[in-house]
Amino acid sequence: MAKFNKKGKKDVPAMSTASLPDIVFMILFFFMVSTSMRQTDRLVTVKVPEATEIAKLERKDLAAYIYVGTPIPSRQAQFGTDARIQLNDAFKTVNDIRDFIAAERETKSEVDRQFMTVSIKADENVRMGIVTDIKQELRRTSALKIMYNARKADTQFGN
């Protein structure tokens, strides 16, 4: 085993880092393609309920988001711990949904307006009262396509 006894005789050449940028760029492009820009700062904590029969939203760009949940701890002094509605970057009430939907519609192109989906991201602990109010307001503004946001549950009961 003389082969292994020649310790330190030969200098190992320095590892070439020339391909490092390529690798990092590859990761960069992966993230650029697979992620989307964060639109709003979340002011409410939302843990969406679990469901198994979920469908993916086809056109993410045609979605309007309504967040419902308890305000984040740093805002609780001002807004309390009761469930609140967040539209864009501010706390709003049910009455503001009408204007919000109208503004969202304006941002979509004419042909796509009918496909606009309102995605309701509500915390699993909110009461249905506030969700019902939102639903009624959406019906009034005839934004009828909605989605209850849910995350994929582990299917532990078969199928």
Q: Which residues bind another protein (CB under 8 A)?
A: 17-18, 20-21, 24-25, 27-28, 31-32, 34-38, 48-57, 60, 63, 117, 119, 122-129, 131-132, 135-136, 138-140, 142, 144-152, 157, 159
Closer to another protein at the Cβ: 5 or 155? 155
- We find the least distance from the C-beta atom of residue 103 to another protein, in angstroms, to be 20
When the beta carbons of 12 and 128 are compared against another protein, the nearer one is: 128
Least Å distance, CB 117 to another protein, is: 7
To another protein, the closest distance from the beta carbon of 158 in angstroms equals 11
Q: Whose Cβ is closer to another protein: residue 78's or residue 154's?
A: 154
CA–CA gap between residue 39 and residue 51 (Å, rounded): 25
Alpha carbons 71 and 77: distance in angstroms, whole number: 9
Q: 86 pairs with which residues across the strands?
A: 67, 91
Please state, in angstroms and rounded to a whole number, the distance separating the CA atoms of residues 122 and 50: 12
Query: What distances in angstroms separate CA 77 from CA 7, 36, 86, one per listed residue?
Result: 67, 32, 17
Angle at 48 between CA 145 and CA 74, to 5 degrees: 115
Q: Which is nearer to another protein, 53 or 154 (CB)?
A: 53
Cβ 93 to another protein shortest distance, Å: 16
* Cβ 142 to another protein shortest distance, Å: 6
Give the contacts of 126 (CB within 8 A, at least 6 positions apart): 68, 69, 83
CB nearer to another protein: pick between 72 and 147? 147
- Which H or E element spans position 78? helix 76-79
